Chain A
Amino acid sequence: MTAPPGPTPREKEVAAEIRRIVREQLHARTEFGDDEELASRLDSLELLSLVVAVEDRFRILLTDEDAAQARSLSDLARIVAARAPEQVAP
């Protein structure tokens, strides 16, 4: 039995950027854990704010299906990294 693969460097980079967005644009005062459920910390309006900021930052569109799959910050980072594999200048 093998452990699931860890995050790629790109996913780690995206996760760090999403953390910055949460901290600076949503003014969250405490850090998120990688696997902490986003919906347990953010209400629907906050989640929408996060989605807007992520779409702007990475120039991607997130669908309702993406949102349903992005239960945690690392899930979201994985979806965004797959959609926006290249570095996008802020």
Chain B
Amino acid sequence: MGRALPGNYADQETLTAALRAHWAAQHFNADRLEELHRAVKVKGRHLALPLAAYPPLDTFKKSNDAWIRVAEELGAEAVMRALDDAGLRPADVDQLVFVTVTGLATPSIDAKLVNRLGLRRDVKRLPIFGLGCVAGAAGLARLSDLMSSSPGGVGVLLSVELCSLTLQRDDLSVANAVASGIFGDGAAAVVLAGGSREVKASPRPRVVATRAAFYPDTEWVMGWDFRDTGFQVVLSAEVPRITRENIAGDVDGFLASHGLGRGDVRHWIAHTGGPRVLEAFQSALALPDGALRRSWTSLEEVGNLSSASVLFVLGDLLDSGEPRPGDLGLVVAMGPGFCAEMVLLRW
């Protein structure tokens, strides 16, 4: 695993103060912005650019040009760290899956990394745009599917999300106020090695199985509205309810198909959607206290990094050295669709 955060860090108070003038222009009670930003339990976030560089980004082109530049830099850093961690070199990579929902590039960022990092000319690339927050888990699942036909191969999943570059400062909706309080920037890369491939890093988990769960007729819950200035967030307050109503059944069904139950899972690696989503995970799955502590800590320290978040939580778990051989872990994320993706890991 490799993770990379931009060097520009701002605490929550600083970020809230920077947005307050916009909020006060439209809303009767500007103090509410601070209340909303406190409610999401984020202490601060890393930003693609220094705070002062954001006001001039008044068109999609300007924001997206910045996105392309920083996404390549941060993506390269995350991939190199992941390869170093696995004792591999760029030339060892056979498959590169790139996920994002915060910017557009063609050639895509993965193509730029072929040049920048010296990946092989025959590396198979798969850029995926649009899965949103679920793409950390979904990307891991899709890469695992690809790798199943390549037992000696090396695959890399890269997630880069620069949420700050999507912020629409003139969108004064409560959804945008929440989004402006919770989403941060970061990149994470995961190396998946085929079963017959030796890698340095150990002990590392194997992907046992993956499962997708789509919730019909919930397209309105989360996503983007595209406008001339970029991506405007769609974020329904019903996300926690939909999570609460569906996640236990989906997790149980997935685990049962492998002869397992929730009690067999020792490590819960949950997307840091926000306080209400994590509470929904916790209560719906009747998880013991502390089961999601790494998700809570990650949310507090860096905010919701969209698809990269669940990979950051996975990285924190790997760093902890806590997993023991034989342990099971479940990666769970939800995102636009609305949908969930799960990846079952065994150490």
Q: Which residues in A have some Cβ–Cβ distance to B below 8 Å?
A: 25-29, 42-46, 48-49, 51-53, 55-56, 59-61
Q: Chain B's interface: helix, strand, loop or mixed, by majority?
A: helix
Let me know if A52 and B39 touch, CB within 8 A: no
Q: Which B158-204 residues sit within 8 Å CB-CB of chain A?
A: 173-175, 177-178
A10 to B131, CA, bound (A): 46
A45-B178, A48-B35 given as contacts; is B28 within 8 A of A27 (CB)? no
Q: Complex formed: what's the CA distance from A55 to B26 in Å? A: 11
A54–chain B nearest beta-carbon distance, Å: 10
Shortest Cβ distance from residue B22 to the other chain A in the assembled complex, whole angstroms: 14
Q: B28 to A49, Cβ gap below 8 A?
A: no
By a beta-carbon cutoff of 8 Å, the part of chain B in contact with chain A is 26-29, 32, 35-36, 39-40, 173-175, 177-178, 220, 236-238, 240, 274-276
B174 touches A55 (CB 8 A): no
Which residues of A sit under 8 angstroms from B27, Cβ to Cβ?
A: 52, 55-56
A63 CB, min distance to chain B CBs, angstroms: 11
Contact of B28 among A26, A29, A45, A59 (CB under 8 A): A59
Q: Can you offer 17 A-B residue contacts whose CB atoms are under 8 A?
A: A25-B174, A26-B237, A27-B238, A28-B238, A42-B237, A44-B39, A45-B40, A45-B237, A45-B275, A48-B36, A48-B39, A48-B174, A49-B237, A52-B32, A52-B177, A55-B28, A59-B28
CA distance A48 to B238 in the complex (A): 14
In the complex, which residues of chain B have a beta carbon less than 8 angstroms from the beta carbon of A52? 27, 29, 32, 36, 174, 177
